[in-house]
Amino acid sequence: MKTLLSMAVTLVFLPSAWAHAFIDHAEPAVGSKLASPPGAVKIWFTERLEPALSTIRVFDSQGTEVDKRDTKVDPKNGQLLVVSLPAIKTGKYRVTWRVVSVDTHVTNGSFEFEITG
């Protein structure tokens, strides 16, 4: 009886459930050190993203944006956001992201990775 009541209340509360999008995991991984430069930064989020309003930017240690400014949501996976990189040098890089999930919740964040060469 208690379980049924719980489920009934839950169903009443269940929305068309989306929420803030956050990182599930990333490539390069958050805080990682790489021997060779990656060709792209990929971030898997916990929610489906609004493609037109979601971006990844990558900056070198001088604050210069180094990505190809071609952020796109993977057509086969609405939770994967990708930006391409040129051949970047050794050093530390900061990834910043700002995404809008399909229910219009906005989240942003940043992390670093390092290319050791």
Partner 1 sequence: MNFKNLIPTAFYIPLGMCALVAMPNWADAHGFAGDRFFPATISTDDPFAASELSLPTISAIRQPGGSGPVKDINISADLSVLVLPRTAVTIGDGYQIVKPADQRALTGFDNLTANVLFEFYENDAHELITSVGLTWEIGGTGRRSLGASSFSTFTPTFYVGKGLGDLPSSLPWLRPIALTGEVGLSIPSRAGDRSVSFDMATGRNQVTITPNPDLIQWGIAVEYSLIYLQEHVKDIGLKAPFDRLIPLVEFAIQTPVNRLIGPTTGTVNPGIIWSGQYCQFGVEAVIPVNSHTGNNVGVVAQLHFYLDDILPKVFSKPLINP
Indicate whether 15 belongs to the interface with partner 1 (CB under 8 A): yes
Rule CB under 8 A: choose which of 6, 36, 90, 116 binds partner 1. Answer: 6
Burial (CB count <10 Å: 0-12, 13-18, 19+), residue 37 = middle
Cβ 96 to partner 1, closest distance in Å?
9
Of residues 72 and 94, the one with the C-beta less far from partner 1: 94
- Tokens of residue 15, six digits: 């929305």
- Tokens of residue 110, six digits: 């940043």
Using CB under 8 A as the binding rule, the residues of this chain from 42 to 71 that contact partner 1 are: 46-47
Alpha helices in the chain (DSSP H): 2-13
User: Counting every residue, how long is the chain?
Assistant: 117
Indicate whether 117 belongs to the interface with partner 1 (CB under 8 A): no
Indicate whether 103 belongs to the interface with partner 1 (CB under 8 A): yes
Cα(94)–Cα(113) distance, rounded to whole angstroms?
7
Residues in contact with partner 1 by CB under 8 A are: 2-3, 5-7, 9-10, 13-15, 17-26, 29-32, 46-47, 92, 103-105, 107-112
